[in-house]
A and B are shown apart, each in its own frame.
Chain A
């Protein structure tokens, strides 16, 4: 407020104050330009974030409106640490993490082959990138049919190979999560490959030339130059992959709804289930606080790890 008044009053003042008027204008312009974004972030992210902590301390059946709010202190969190279902969902998230290094490994190989060993590089980039840009819901529905236990083409193929009892995939508690992981790997290869390709371009070519002169084999060059020089990329992809993995929701919601027998119940789906199916807003908020803490921890590890592990 007082900035705009000072701007208008200073314009009437002598020339020696014109510098002040300039800075006041500049300041006003700065705040005006930043205002929409700051306002949006405040209303749609910061205020919800603060309310989240408050809601997590309540027992709130949303149907009763504001009068349904009951302060329960840390009860939700006490309950949370004894809740088997929540532990299962957390454990499932940990199992899902296995997909990250597998996807990284495959992506690195594809990136190197596409970068150095093939014709029509641009064409291959498009092919391997396609699953990443495709709608995850559409992809999920397609895989649901492909994995169909009795009629699906995957089991059709396995049975034609003479396998009598192929797995029931998404309908079997043992295979459901691995099936989801397979889809996650398939969709994330494109993203990882593109980032790896960018990383590969950043390696100075004279390193390879020097190694060549020293008579280092291709394999030795890969192990001693490519892998260490790509370590910042790998680290970045590992962290984004891990965070992304903790956010898994769409595939589960479309394919399994956490089943069978909770075998694919991951944290975000569990939050969704508690909040919007069981209508336990307070409890779901407590679970969300936990999720937030986990992701924050990973992000902090990232800042710390960047300095420690990345050799460059």
Chain B
């Protein structure tokens, strides 16, 4: 994503006379934006620094941005291995996220392939119906889904949560766009060689759209990891809680231990930060491409 975003600069800096003043402006604006950016991230900086402190220092004013007394190891150990144990919430969240990504990518990619590369009667109507489901706000379906889950035995299970988050028109739509960019000749010639759709899908089509699959999988990870509403409603047993439910429960249980709560929130954000920094191009590119929200 970084390469296509070529700066609009040439038009400006090509003005012959003001070369050095343009550079100066640039340095000043960069400095200002840096200050604004730090202010913008102050809540995160406060969170991180509070998670390293002893409880007594958390609310000291003026704020000690760099803790005078370090209590980081203690705090994080209590959060991760104490009661309730964060490590369990982590495991639950990883489990739910990975299963959701696998199911969601598989179902979306297969449907997207069908809707772009296979000709069958009713295809376009079905695709429009899939797209129409995108307009239904998930929040409006909580009541019927809850009743359904109670009667199907999916309530209070991880698999129920996974099923609920796996089927969305969005993935189908995004991956269909990707498949459409594959030339039909590729597929026709494979067919002439005697390959069925299953083989073409696995060996030709999927590898060609790999970057799009990665983008979708990462966005799905971020949305699933961050989801609070579905686990809140569809999970009841504390041992099944995901990280988002877990930190809230933890915050309620530990009450006034803000240093511990901040260690918990830092731990909840950390995987997102890692994924984001590693797969920045995919995340930003995916957002810019579809302009989509979970």
Q: Is the CB of A136 within 8 A of B226?
A: yes
Which of chain A's residues have a CB closer than 8 A to the CB of B4?
Answer: 201
Q: Is the CB of B5 within 8 A of A120?
A: no
Q: Decide if the interface of chain B is mainly helix, strand, loop or mixed.
A: helix
Contact residues on B (Cβ < 8 Å of other chain), bracket: 35 or more
User: Nearest-CB distance from B54 to chain A (Å)?
Assistant: 15
Which of chain A's residues have a CB closer than 8 A to the CB of B139?
Answer: 247, 249, 268, 271, 288, 291
User: Nearest-CB distance from A198 to chain B (Å)?
Assistant: 4
Contact among A29, A156, A194 with B287 in the assembled complex (CB-CB below 8 Å): A194
Which of chain B's residues have a CB closer than 8 A to the CB of A145?
Answer: 50, 258, 261-262
Q: Which of B70-126 contact A (CB under 8 A)?
A: 106-108, 110-111, 113-115, 118-121, 123, 126
Which of chain B's residues have a CB closer than 8 A to the CB of A240?
Answer: 291, 293
Which of chain A's residues have a CB closer than 8 A to the CB of B248?
Answer: 137, 141, 254
Which of chain A's residues have a CB closer than 8 A to the CB of B214?
Answer: none
Which of chain A's residues have a CB closer than 8 A to the CB of B258?
Answer: 145
Q: Is the CB of A44 within 8 A of B163?
A: yes
In whole angstroms, how far apart are the Cα atoms of A115 and B146 in the complex? Answer: 46
Q: Does B174 contact A (CB under 8 A)?
A: no
Q: Is the CB of B288 within 8 A of A197?
A: yes
Q: Is the CB of B120 within 8 A of A142?
A: no
Q: Which of A208-226 contact B (CB under 8 A)?
A: 208-209, 212
**Closest residue to A282 on the B side, CB-wise?**
B143
Which of chain A's residues have a CB closer than 8 A to the CB of B280?
Answer: 126
In whole angstroms, how far apart are the Cα atoms of A157 and B140 in the complex? Answer: 41
Which A residues form the contact surface with B (CB < 8 A)? 23, 25-27, 29-31, 33-34, 36-38, 40-41, 44-49, 51-52, 55, 62, 113-122, 124-131, 133-139, 141-143, 145-146, 148, 151-153, 156-157, 160, 186, 191, 194-195, 197-198, 200-201, 203, 205, 208-209, 212, 236-237, 240, 243-244, 246-247, 249-250, 253-254, 268, 271-272, 275-276, 281, 284-285, 288-289, 291-292, 295-296, 299
Which B residues form the contact surface with A (CB < 8 A)? 2, 4-12, 25-27, 29-30, 33, 37, 40-41, 43-44, 46-47, 50, 59, 61-63, 106-108, 110-111, 113-115, 118-121, 123, 126, 130, 133, 135-148, 150, 163-164, 166-167, 169, 172, 196-198, 201, 222, 225-226, 228-229, 232-233, 243-244, 247-248, 251, 258, 261-262, 264-266, 268-269, 272-273, 276-277, 280, 283-284, 287-289, 291, 293
Can you pick out 30 interface pairs between chain A and chain B where the beta carbons lie within 8 Å of each other? A29-B196, A31-B120, A33-B201, A37-B107, A38-B126, A47-B148, A48-B145, A62-B150, A114-B33, A118-B29, A119-B27, A119-B30, A124-B37, A127-B37, A127-B40, A133-B273, A134-B44, A134-B269, A137-B244, A142-B44, A142-B47, A153-B46, A153-B59, A156-B63, A200-B8, A247-B137, A254-B248, A272-B142, A276-B233, A288-B143
